[in-house]
Chains A and B, each alone.
Chain A
Amino acid sequence: MLSGVFHGSILFLVSAGLQVVFGVQKIFNLACGSFYALGAYVGVSAVGWYVGAGGPPALFIAPLAVAGLAVGAVGVPVERGLLRFVYDRDETFQLLLTFAIVLMMEDAIRMTWGTSPRSTSGLYLTYGRVGVLGTTVPVYNLIVIGASLAIAVLIGWLLTRTTFGWIIRASADNREMTEALGVDMRRLHTTVFTLGTALGTLGGALVIPATAAMSEMGIELIVEAFAVVVIGGLGSMRGAFVGALVVGVLRSIAISVYPELEMLLIYLIVIAVLVLRPRGLFGGPPA
């Protein structure tokens, strides 16, 4: 169960990045998985550098999180240099472009970090293990779950209590009106896309002590993020949160009870949601 929640927390960060970008820019960003992989690789390098420089292992999470967030800045050139040209094009072009970014990033990662899996050796258990509900869980997993919850609350606060959040919601509702009221859409798009990217890269960085970085690791996550978004509702943050939790926990339960159902169960839920509530659990009414 807890293993499912851990997986769900990472999935939430990536899906939240996907949702915030879709909400404002109306682009379904397949490259969110690549940003996740990029965050993982940069996380490995940052932690490797930090440990090599003699930093205390107990604080490794700080350079990891900072590196994860900082590399989110890659969102700026991607948005300014590529995405802004397709905002008014057909959705197919947008999907093709973000898919092209997936392929390019995979190659760029391979050229930079090589083909072998990369991992942060040994740091996963720095904070030890605890017994929870009769099973042993690395404390790091609980920290990631906590961090993910904190980010969810922070995003909630950002969207509902700050001017920036109101602008985001306004532009998601009615782009032309928001622009007419004097909001600099160009800047907003760059900021929102970078925020979405940083959520993905942070997710990748945070997961890395528990796993190993592989250049194609993003592809797997894109598929699951799709399921999260369909279940939760496209563009909804609450949807991303609940969807990620549903996918993570159900997958975990299926593996324990009936392993053959691992993926089938998730897609059965996706189909059920599409049939019974096509806009997802928290999706808004059609425009």
Chain B
Amino acid sequence: MRTTRRSFLRLVGAGAAAATVRLDAPPAFAQAGHPVKLGVLTIRAGIAAPVGAAGLRGTEWWLERVNRAGGILGRPVQLVVEEESNPKDTVERYRKLVLQDKVEAVLGGISTGVTLALGPVAEDLGTPWLSWDGTTQKGVEETMPNPRWAFKSVDNEVEAIVAGMLTARHFKGIKTVAGIGNDYSYGHDCWQAYQAVLKRYTPDVKFVLELFPKLGVTDFTSHLAAIQQSRADLLMCSFWSGDATIILKQAAAVDLFKTMKGAFTTAGGVHDSLKKNFTPEGLLLGYNTMYFDDPKGSALLKQFVREYKAKYAEYPPYECDHAYFCAESYKAAVEKAAAGSTKWPEKATVVRALEGIEVESLSGRRSWREDHVHMCNFYQGITTHKNPYDFVTIDPVEVVSTKVAMKPAGTKLFDWINSWKI
């Protein structure tokens, strides 16, 4: 056959094209060995930095285990970490993660002030977003009842609801209650929910004082003077950061809890700073969704606590568990969506697989409700000094599921509380 100029050029072109194809490249559909990128949004500056650090540490611990065991569908996992700050900047970083870094999913989000803005963006960009601790609630009302891509944390007010139930159980005869919380949505919503629940159990209870200092205040001596003057039987406090430690220390200095009971709904977030010499026994203390010293805790929890303590010289708080659950449930959903094949599933298939999925997290079994909200247990109990630590722990440990303490999908919080049969 004669080689014409045209057939020669065709041959050269085909050769050049063939030369660009690497012979060792795997078939495109399998993608085995190519890292799968997961975006992580966390807070590393400001008052919530300890919470953000715990979430990131929980995710990194999960990452090491998963990669050691061969990754997800044979692909090693890589994290792309971005900062959660104000809503505007965080939304920009979220876009960057999805559009520029091309992550398969985004994990994280702590402040509801930020995640309220992230929710609609996640829906627009069509990438799964699994929030650690942030919801899409405005106050106590859900703003995204039927999301497709956004998976949200437990309703913010759940720990106050659990504390309300346990106050009625452990502190019978309470007639007057004072409340203190931070002056933003979380503090106000917790106080409202707590009052509504306690009122159901003890209808004649009176709420005699409410104080809402700004987030970040480090001197509560004036607030404590007002609380003492109120002569309430019980103080409810929803502080969750260093302010919980400070108010307990300053309360001890004026012997507040000699005459008053206390319900600290969320102070377990800084549990190892609640030293015995200023945190009395007999307070109700909430640890959110993970109690590091749970006597019934799983082998996974015990291993995590041991390794976390060895690495960071601290005992882990709850955010580790939120974060671990988000990552682990994503892995389980990808494997479920792949249904035995090695082909990486479409994002849309993964979000369908996430709905209702249940996995073992650090705190035990956790799942996603059909409307994309975490389902888990809350741990609260009465403070005790009988432990080998220099800080308080709880005994008994009360475990309350979100099945009883979180408003069902599509209901209004206060209608739901008022419908309880007690």
Query: Among A74-82, A114-122, A182-190, A268-276, which stretch is in contact with chain B?
Result: A114-122
Structural contact, A122 and B278, CB atoms closer than 8 A: yes
Structural contact, B211 and A259, CB atoms closer than 8 A: yes
In the bound complex, how far is the Cα of B138 from the Cα of A127, in angstroms? 47
In the bound complex, how far is the Cα of B214 from the Cα of A217, in angstroms? 12
Interface size class for chain A? 35 or more
Q: Which of A103, A114, A212 contacts B245 (CB 8 A)?
A: A212
Structural contact, A217 and B216, CB atoms closer than 8 A: yes
B213 contacts the other chain (Cβ, under 8 Å)?
yes
Q: Which of A3, A114, A141, A220 contacts B216 (CB 8 A)?
A: A220
A215 contacts the other chain (Cβ, under 8 Å)?
yes
A138 contacts the other chain (Cβ, under 8 Å)?
yes
Structural contact, A220 and B214, CB atoms closer than 8 A: yes
Structural contact, A107 and B45, CB atoms closer than 8 A: yes
Structural contact, A4 and B222, CB atoms closer than 8 A: yes
In the bound complex, how far is the Cα of B313 from the Cα of A103, in angstroms? 25
A-B contacts, CB under 8 A, total: 125
Structural contact, A262 and B213, CB atoms closer than 8 A: yes
Measured between beta carbons, the chain A residues less than 8 angstroms from B210 are: 259
* B: number of interface residues (CB 8 Å): 44
A45 contacts the other chain (Cβ, under 8 Å)?
no
Query: Among B200-208, B246-254, B364-372, which stretch is in contact with chain A?
Result: B246-254
B348 contacts the other chain (Cβ, under 8 Å)?
no
Structural contact, A214 and B47, CB atoms closer than 8 A: yes
Structural contact, A117 and B242, CB atoms closer than 8 A: yes
Q: Give B211-252 as 1s and 0s: 1 = Cβ < 8 Å from A's Cβ atoms.
A: 111101111011111101100000000000110011001101
Q: Can you pick out 8 interface pairs between chain A and chain B where the beta carbons lie within 8 Å of each other? A: A114-B314, A116-B242, A212-B242, A214-B218, A255-B211, A259-B210, A262-B213, A263-B214
Give 11 new A-B contacts, CB below 8 A, not counting A210-B219, A217-B218: A3-B219, A110-B49, A116-B50, A117-B270, A129-B254, A135-B254, A211-B249, A216-B216, A221-B218, A252-B221, A255-B226
Top 4 closest A-B pairs, CB basis?
A: A117-B242, A3-B221, A122-B277, A115-B50
Q: B residues bordering A, Cβ < 8 Å? A: 45-47, 49-50, 53, 209-214, 216-219, 221-226, 228-229, 241-242, 245-246, 249-250, 252-255, 270, 272-273, 275, 277-278, 312-314, 390
